[in-house]
Amino acid sequence: MFSKIKVGVEEWKKLEADLARIASGGQLEIVINLTLVATQGDEGVEEEEEHEHHHHHFEENEFTREVAKLIDHVAHMYNAHVHPHLHSHHGSVMFAVKGMPNELIKALRDSMEYVKLNCERCALHTVDGEFHLGEDLAGIYFGDAYKITVILPAEDGRRLKVHEVHF
């Protein structure tokens, strides 16, 4: 078990080092898109909501209150720009955070950990997003609550480098 934790930490450090290489001492921006689902939901609500296509179409319930707390936490902790798209029992929240690579890794891990530790009525279904260097796309990632795959440019600029980090 200890060796798995050590390997997990080393993979995150390798990812951070690659992001630092790409940033060349500057800041990057991470876009974090968390897709969340209710762990206990009302049946029949989805059919009613499918006809509506608003960014905030939901009745307030335990799920939406917990997601609102997540939004407040990430927005205040990381000065994040937030764009939620919620329904009563599922939805996604997109955060955009600017900072140094170590700060962005912390924001990603913290947002996922927040859901695991603080949401009784919601669960992380998937996570995906992008890293930006100014206006340029610097990398992409996708995964779930257990493993994230990150694709970044290699040192030579011609190939891609893939990181698999475990949460």
The answer to whether position 13 is within a domain reads no
What CATH number corresponds to the domain at position 87? Answer: 3.30.70.1120
Which of 9-18, 49-58, 81-90 is predicted least confidently?
A: 49-58
Domain that holds residue 32: 28-40+54-131
The answer to whether position 72 is within a domain reads yes
The answer to whether position 60 is within a domain reads yes
pLDDT attached to residue 9: 84
The answer to whether position 124 is within a domain reads yes
The model carries a pTM of 0.85
* Residue 108, CA atoms < 13 Å, CB-side half-sphere: 36
The answer to whether position 84 is within a domain reads yes
Distances (CA, A) of 100 to 22, 75, 105, 111: 11, 17, 9, 17
Residues in the chain: 167
Number of domains in the chain: 1
* Tens of pLDDT, residues 43-61: 444 444 444 444 444 568 9
Q: How large is the average pLDDT for residues 141-158? A: 95
The answer to whether position 96 is within a domain reads yes
The answer to whether position 142 is within a domain reads no
